[in-house]
Amino acid sequence: MSERRTLAVDIGGTGIKFAALDDSGRIIGERARVPTPPKPVQPADVVHIVEETSAQLGPFDRVSVGFPGMVRDGKVLTAPNLGTELWAGFDLQKELSRRLEKPVRVMNDADVQGYGAIEGKGVEMVLTLGTGAGTSLFENGRILPHLELAHHPLFKDKSYDECLGNAALTAAGKRKWSRRVEKTIQILRTVVNFDHLYLGGGNAKKVKFDLPADITVVPNTDGLTGGIRLWHDTDEPPAVRPENIAKTAKPPRTLMAARRGAKAPAVPRARAAAAKPAAKPAAKGRTKPGPKRPAVHRAAGRTTIASQPRTAVGFRVPPGACDCHVHVFGAAADFPFAAPRGYTPPPAGVDELLRLQHALSLSRVVIVQPSVYGTDNSCTLDGLRRLGPERARGVAVIDAQTKGAALREMDAAGIRGVRVNLETSGVADPAVSRRNLADAAKRVAPLGWHVQVYTRLSVVEALHDDVMALDVPVVFDHFGGAQAAGGVGQPGFAALLDLVRSGKAYVKVSGHYRSSTKAPAFDDVAPLARALIAANRDRIVWGTDWPHPHHAEPGREIEITPSFDIDDGLALAQLPRWAPTAATRHKILVDNPARLYGF
């Protein structure tokens, strides 16, 4: 037998557990447990605990981690019981591997517990009952894509977490809580039609009803011993069940009784090969290099993974072409969000942005400060630094406390304008809008910047004379707030055209899906685009609005808000319909952005 040792880590809402495993998945030596820091839990604190505690368990060759949230390729997407806004986008797998100098695999904790509990026959499900509720699902030993049922409504408007988590147990008492668990199992039996259900987690032993033969309570150690299965795509298959938990199991059926014996049967090699974790190396024989894209969660045109083009552009994009409107969202641990805010976006970083740029044959980009960061422009500035001055410029958000020295530093970093976001903040009062516009123009005039305004046509019309009197350019986002359904005759659109015609204002024909409801092409914006271009083709720029953030429902602003799932290839492919000549497209994509942003 190989002498390799696997460090297994089970991160929970109240405790972080550790054990060393041999190659068969049996625990060797003493286990360790360290309390989880109070919520919200900083990623750096968890990494430090793992680093410090692992040194006490002796040498190890690799690390398996169960994490309480949605994980894709080792990167955290959600962490409701630790603090999603701090964890979203954090690459726990990469950071632990760097700190421990060992290969690391990170997976959802219920999935890892399932690996430790399952028999490998038929449809098997795991329901964990701890700080929150978790699930995993297997078919003949093969894990199925993780479903974060913890966030799904269970009873009325309450989620699995809210109904079955530890807080619910404390509030309702064991008897009432047990009835909820029993009813939940009935629901899962109908929805999943499982052959066997395993109840895990610290509260599983507190259920107060008789379990049928196809339901088994399994020990917490499954969340550690299941870690060995994360390496089965490269290793010889170990035993399904390690010896060390035989004494704690409750064998409700003959098959389970045999399985809990002193020596567990070996997993057939075919089954072990099938049971692969979510993070795995690229398959042999791939013809295209590069990292594998994570699976995408889509619901009603939404995604928690930054979208990438799916349609070929279909025309020659000129060198120097610019996407004049994108946002960058980093990991919240590095770039904290403002409070309050209108939504909490999934991560969408510079690497994903570069993929978008290359896919669309674009050479330049303008990063616009999003509302969720308030006046902290650190994430936008970091994006500019990483992309470099040849490719990137930016638009910042400032307030009265922003000093002149800070503005000069931002200018040196590539900022070329400030954004006055009246739409997201709900400002429609012309007097307030007029004052905000005048204050911004006064601050940026010495730097030669412009003022970018996101608002609606009624406000554009009210600000017409003010814009005409300004000495700085004004840029209106997203068709100036015009809606395709209203056509070119809608109120306020004539005022926008007049500003463009005069040369006093630019308009971004960007975020077309914000002006239309006709997915996926949203091509009914064409009359608006053509009218704007006809008014003055020297004052029109184009942008994607990637990664297409979406405003949260009231009361859910601090939860991860899936973005719109937009095909930016299809969006750019429409430009020739709006601007039929190559010369006009060159102005919109190259000349006008170069003039406005100083490329």
385: left (phi over 0), alpha (psi -120 to 50) or beta: alpha
- Distance, in Å, from the CA atom of 561 to the CA atom of 552, rounded to the nearest integer, reads 6
The helix (run of H) or strand (run of E) holding residue 386 is helix 378-387
Cis peptide before 80 (omega within 30 of 0): no
- Distance, in Å, from the CA atom of 242 to the CA atom of 222, rounded to the nearest integer, reads 9
**Given 161, 323, 545, 565, which residue is catalytic?**
545
Q: Which amino acid is at 7?
A: L
- Alpha helices, DSSP H, located in 58-173: 84-87, 92-100, 109-117, 160-164, 166-172
- The Cα diameter of the chain in Å comes to 86
8-state DSSP, 589: I
Q: Is 22 known to be catalytic?
A: no
Contact between residue 477 and residue 325 where contact means Cβ atoms under 8 Å apart:
yes
503: left (phi over 0), alpha (psi -120 to 50) or beta: left
391 Cβ partners below 8 Å, 6+ apart?
Answer: 357, 363, 364, 365
Nearest residue to 454 (alpha-carbon basis) of 423, 497, 418: 423
Q: Computed over its alpha carbons, how large is the radius of gyration of the chain?
A: 28
- Alpha helices, DSSP H, located in 135-231: 160-164, 166-172, 174-192, 222-225
- Distance, in Å, from the CA atom of 456 to the CA atom of 461, rounded to the nearest integer, reads 9
- Distance, in Å, from the CA atom of 220 to the CA atom of 109, rounded to the nearest integer, reads 11
Q: Which amino acid is at 168?
A: A
Q: Could you tell me the end-to-end alpha-carbon distance of the chain, in angstroms, rounded to an integer?
A: 62
**From residue 592, how far is each of 319, 359, 509, 538, 598 by CA, in Å?**
14, 22, 13, 6, 10
List, by residue number, the catalytic residues: 545
